[in-house]
């Protein structure tokens, strides 16, 4: 029984399959490396990260990729003893505001497929499919034929950008598309028709799509046809899952769903959701993945097995739960870095045994090669700590603890050096506010030697502290955590990833000054326990 529909630590855009008694969910990773996350379960309750398939330079190089672009909407399928994973590599988001509300939206995305005989094995190099629109998925029909679906993107001013669901035959052996690509479904009045998945059941072809846009109006639409190429009749009862118009639901932005038949014959839907920080409209955890039982109705449609309101109440997490990370020979699996397939240029786990050594590279927020290693924020309230040994000799060198959403929004508690203050700690903030794009805290002088850094969050505020002489010293400033959210963003700048917390180092002098991190800890906290803290001067509010 699924007691907590929100799967902790999962990214958005879930695709779910079952092979025998094994369930797999693939989710998006955007500009984070390696690409795609695949989790495995046999009971739908306990999940384990088993693969990040796109990890070689021959598969993926995200250097230069804009924030929240990169890997979108991976889709798993299984046929003829082989796993298939399709995905979009998004290189340009495009902005309608560039040319006014009805302006052109020029975007660049390329769809690929990789294959593997075993999920946890090596995946192939990508096979190019097309660039006509994002959210590719493969449908393998019962007659052995396969088809590629993806949305058709129309960039022209005055046209519906989400111009329908394209389908084209795909030869899985020759690994090529062939025949004609046809629009099989133009979507409903909800618009933003994307994320197509096709299924065959009881002589029907069922098409699931995401509609309403990946925000508060998000929804899952179901349509069906006796003919693969349509016409597709839309479910007469409306979207099968949505939180649209229901601000009371704990799970918001419900959409982008994928169906799977469980081993016992029941059905489930994995879908995208989001949980705003209580009392705000800020989704600091980004969009997540939920899993919900559904059932077929007597007239051949689908409905949630339990009211979304009931399913939407995530089980109460334990008040305190600490994950401690030691740095041995491999990077702990919760951690990722940004964009490059060559992480040796960013960090080492052998330069100082027992430490993660970050080599100062480009500036924090670089779209190319920045030394930043972090894990997703998976709870509103949390405490993160690390110990860093870093001896900067220049203002161009800094290292420390970072709460990072993307290049336009982060709070970076960094150790640096300048002629007047010498070695010191300071929080450098990038804010998604054109009127106030950055902020700097006071300078806090530091003695020589390793420094322990800590950040505490109640979901809405951040408090930074440091310790180098036995006692913790909390910085005077309080920092806004809600600006690190999907909603706090610059016009036309996508924010899809959610917030990460981790370690960073930069050295624009080019000397690759090393920062040695002796460990990292993340403690989930019940947000209520921090809300009582009275924030003092606030930064970025």
Would you tell me which residues interact with ligand 6LW (CB under 6 A)?
A: 12-13, 28, 72-73, 134-135, 194-195, 210, 214, 255-256, 272, 496
Strands of 172-281 (E only): list them.
176-177, 182-185, 194-201, 204-211, 219-225, 233-234, 241-242, 252-261, 267-274
User: What's the min distance (Å) between Cβ of 194 and ligand 6LW?
Assistant: 4
Rounded-to-integer distance, Cα 169 and Cα 172, Å = 10
Residue pair 2/291 in contact (Cβ under 8 Å)? The answer is yes
User: What's the min distance (Å) between Cβ of 32 and ligand 6LW?
Assistant: 13
Would you call 530 helix, strand, or coil by DSSP?
Answer: helix
Which residues does residue 267 pair with via DSSP β-bridges, in sequence order?
Answer: 261, 294
User: What's the min distance (Å) between Cβ of 361 and ligand 6LW?
Assistant: 27
Alpha carbon of 431 to those of 358, 382, 435, 490, 500: distances in Å?
25, 21, 9, 9, 15
Residue pair 288/376 in contact (Cβ under 8 Å)? The answer is no
User: In the bound complex, which residue of the shown chain has the CB atom lying closest to ligand 6LW?
Assistant: 214
User: What's the min distance (Å) between Cβ of 339 and ligand 6LW?
Assistant: 17
Q: Is the peptide bond before 34 cis (omega within 30 degrees of 0)?
A: yes
Contacts of residues 198-202 at CB distance under 8 Å and 24 or more positions apart, as own/partner, are: 198/137, 198/139, 198/147, 198/149, 198/167, 199/139, 199/259, 200/141, 200/142, 202/300
Q: Compare residues 256 and 426 and give the one whose CB is closer to ligand 6LW.
A: 256
Burial of 508 (0-12, 13-18, 19+ CB in 10 A): middle
User: What's the min distance (Å) between Cβ of 68 and ligand 6LW?
Assistant: 8
Burial of 485 (0-12, 13-18, 19+ CB in 10 A): buried
Q: Compare residues 272 and 403 and give the one whose CB is closer to ligand 6LW.
A: 272
Q: Compare residues 194 and 458 and give the one whose CB is closer to ligand 6LW.
A: 194
Which secondary structure element, helix H or strand E, spans residue 406, and what is its range? Answer: strand 397-406
User: What's the min distance (Å) between Cβ of 541 and ligand 6LW?
Assistant: 28
User: What's the min distance (Å) between Cβ of 411 and ligand 6LW?
Assistant: 24
User: What's the min distance (Å) between Cβ of 198 and ligand 6LW?
Assistant: 15
DSSP assignment of 316-346 equals: PPPSEEEEEE---SS--TT-EEES-S-GGGT
Q: Compare residues 12 and 94 and give the one whose CB is closer to ligand 6LW.
A: 12
Place of tokens 């993945």: 289
User: What's the min distance (Å) between Cβ of 372 and ligand 6LW?
Assistant: 21
User: What's the min distance (Å) between Cβ of 536 and ligand 6LW?
Assistant: 37
Alpha carbon of 269 to those of 237, 241, 257, 298: distances in Å?
17, 9, 6, 18
CB within 8 Å of 443: residues ≥ 6 apart: 421, 424, 425, 426
Nearest to 455 by CA among 465, 446, 468: 465
Q: Compare residues 194 and 480 and give the one whose CB is closer to ligand 6LW.
A: 194
Burial of 46 (0-12, 13-18, 19+ CB in 10 A): exposed
Burial of 313 (0-12, 13-18, 19+ CB in 10 A): middle
Q: Compare residues 194 and 383 and give the one whose CB is closer to ligand 6LW.
A: 194
Tokens coding 481: 């955590």
Query: Half-sphere exposure of 258 toward its Cβ, with a 13 Å CA cutoff?
Result: 29
Q: Compare residues 28 and 41 and give the one whose CB is closer to ligand 6LW.
A: 28
- Which residues are known catalytic residues? 369
Q: Compare residues 276 and 392 and give the one whose CB is closer to ligand 6LW.
A: 276
Rounded-to-integer distance, Cα 221 and Cα 20, Å = 27
Rounded-to-integer distance, Cα 465 and Cα 385, Å = 9
User: In residues, how long is the chain?
Assistant: 541
Tokens coding 524: 């989930």
Q: Compare residues 5 and 255 and give the one whose CB is closer to ligand 6LW.
A: 255
Q: Compare residues 429 and 497 and give the one whose CB is closer to ligand 6LW.
A: 497
């Amino acid at each position: 029984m699924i007691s907590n529909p929100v799967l902790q630590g999962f990214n958005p855009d879930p695709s779910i399959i079952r092979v025998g008694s094994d369930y797999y969910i693939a989710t998006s990773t955007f500009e984070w490396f390696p690409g795609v996350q695949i989790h495995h379960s046999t009971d739908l309750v306990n999940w384990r990260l088993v693969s990040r398939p796109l990890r070689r330079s021959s598969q993926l190089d995200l250097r230069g990729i804009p924030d929240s672009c990169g890997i979108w909407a991976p889709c798993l399928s299984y046929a003829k003893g082989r796993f298939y994973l399709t995905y979009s590599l998004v290189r340009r988001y495009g902005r309608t505001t560039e040319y006014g509300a009805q302006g052109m939206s020029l975007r660049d995305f390329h769809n690929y497929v990789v294959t593997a005989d075993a999920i946890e094995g090596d995946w192939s190099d990508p096979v190019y499919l097309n660039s006509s629109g994002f959210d590719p998925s493969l449908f393998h029909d019962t007659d052995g034929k396969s088809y590629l679906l993806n949305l058709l993107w129309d960039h022209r001013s005055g046209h519906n950008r989400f111009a329908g669901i394209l389908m084209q035959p795909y030869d899985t052996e020759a690994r090529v598309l062939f025949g004609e690509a046809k629009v099989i479904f133009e979507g409903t009045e909800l618009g933003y028709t994307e994320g197509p998945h096709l299924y065959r059941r009881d002589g029907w072809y069922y098409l699931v799509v995401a509609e309403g846009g990946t925000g508060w109006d998000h929804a899952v639409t179901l349509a069906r046809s006796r003919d693969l190429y349509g016409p597709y009749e839309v479910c007469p009862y409306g979207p099968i899952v949505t939180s649209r118009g229901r601000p009371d639901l704990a799970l918001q932005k419900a959409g982008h769903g994928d169906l799977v038949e469980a081993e016992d014959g029941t059905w489930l839907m994995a879908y995208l959701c989001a949980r705003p920080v209580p009392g705000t409209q800020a989704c600091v955890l980004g969009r997540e993945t939920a899993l919900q039982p559904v059932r077929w109705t007597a007239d051949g449609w689908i409905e949630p097995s339990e009211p979304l309101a009931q399913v939407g109440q995530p089980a109460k997490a334990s008040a305190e739960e600490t994950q401690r990370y030691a740095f041995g020979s491999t990077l702990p699996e919760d951690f990722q870095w940004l964009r490059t397939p060559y992480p040796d240029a960013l960090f080492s786990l052998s330069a100082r045994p027992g430490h993660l050594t970050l080599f100062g590279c480009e500036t924090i927020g670089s779209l190319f090669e920045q030394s930043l290693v972090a894990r997703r924020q998976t709870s509103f309230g949390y405490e993160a700590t690390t110990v860093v040994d870093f001896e900067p000799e220049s203002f161009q060198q800094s290292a420390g603890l970072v709460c990072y959403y993307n290049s336009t929004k982060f709070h970076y508690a960094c150790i640096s050096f300048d002629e007047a203050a010498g070695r010191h700690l300071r929080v450098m903030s990038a804010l998604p506010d054109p009127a106030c794009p950055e902020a700097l805290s006071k300078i806090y002088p530091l003695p020589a030697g390793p420094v322990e850094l800590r950040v505490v969050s109640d979901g809405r505020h951040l408090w930074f502290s440091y310790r180098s002489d036995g006692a913790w010293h909390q910085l005077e400033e309080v920092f806004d955590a809600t600006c690190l959210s999907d909603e706090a963003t610059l016009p036309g700048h996508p924010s899809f990833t959610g917030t990460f917390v981790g370690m960073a180092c930069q050295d624009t002098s080019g000397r690759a000054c090393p920062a040695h991190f002796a460990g990292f800890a993340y403690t989930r906290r019940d947000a209520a326990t921090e809300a009582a803290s009275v924030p003092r001067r606030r930064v970025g509010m």
